[in-house]
A and B are shown apart, each in its own frame.
Chain A
């Protein structure tokens, strides 16, 4: 799986959009970008994933650059409950056998009132 680089931490204001960057310059054509988050004392939680196109669900939006070497997770209206460590993960097709998740250090996001 390709390596990802994320800033170690960032703050954002409650109610504002939080934009979380991730670099994955060695991503292969068959690798997807996944985002998970881990709230304190809980297991990781799936947020969203994408291959080439931008994706949106009820939790967040994922913007992937045209060259696929970087992406941004957008939390449109951050709340205090969004305070967590956010992990950007690159992995092969989700239908492949095995397909373990390889977590990096993630970005520790603190949402402030």
Chain B
């Protein structure tokens, strides 16, 4: 399968713990996006990379969130000191220079 992949698919963690998610974009896609989706709502933009450079961050991305794309390929999204309000689906998408975005299946985070 050459689509966008995300791991893990599900993560349950206790409040206060740190979690890290990984996204592997479609090969050769230079843009990578992270979105968050809560139940019943549309996805909300968090941040985006062009190659390894993080070019835009949403105000939703608090100081507890950090994203990296060290070699311009896969990306990680880390949440430190998780809160119950962080429970959501975290979606990754990739695109080639502004063409349509292809989404992965998402990582569902539950903070207990």
Contacts and interface: CB of A to CB of B under 8 A. Distances in A.
Contact of B48 (A41, A46, A100): A100
Interface in B14-63: 33, 35, 41-45, 48, 50, 55-56
B73 interface: no
B59 to A, nearest CB: 13
B103 A43 contact: yes
A65 interface: no
B87 to A, nearest CB: 16
A100 B100 CA distance: 10
Interface in A74-91: 85, 87
A43 B103 CA distance: 5
A93 B97 CA distance: 11
A102 B99 CA distance: 15
A94 B91 contact: no
Contacts of B103: 43-45
Could you tell me the dominant secondary structure of chain A's interface residues? loop
| Chain A interface category by residue count | 20 to 34
Contact of B42 (A42, A100, A105): A105
B102 A46 contact: yes
A98 B101 CA distance: 11
Nearest to B108: A41
Contact of A46 (B4, B41, B44, B101): B101
Interface string A86-113: 0100000111111111111110000000
A49 interface: yes
Given A49-B100, A94-B99, A101-B45, 5 more contacts: A42-B106, A97-B98, A98-B55, A100-B56, A101-B101
In the A-B complex, the 10 residue pairs with the closest CB atoms: A103-B42, A43-B103, A100-B45, A46-B100, A95-B98, A94-B98, A44-B103, A103-B43, A98-B56, A43-B91
15 contacts: A41-B105, A43-B91, A43-B93, A43-B103, A43-B106, A44-B93, A87-B42, A95-B97, A96-B98, A97-B55, A101-B43, A101-B45, A101-B93, A105-B42, A106-B42
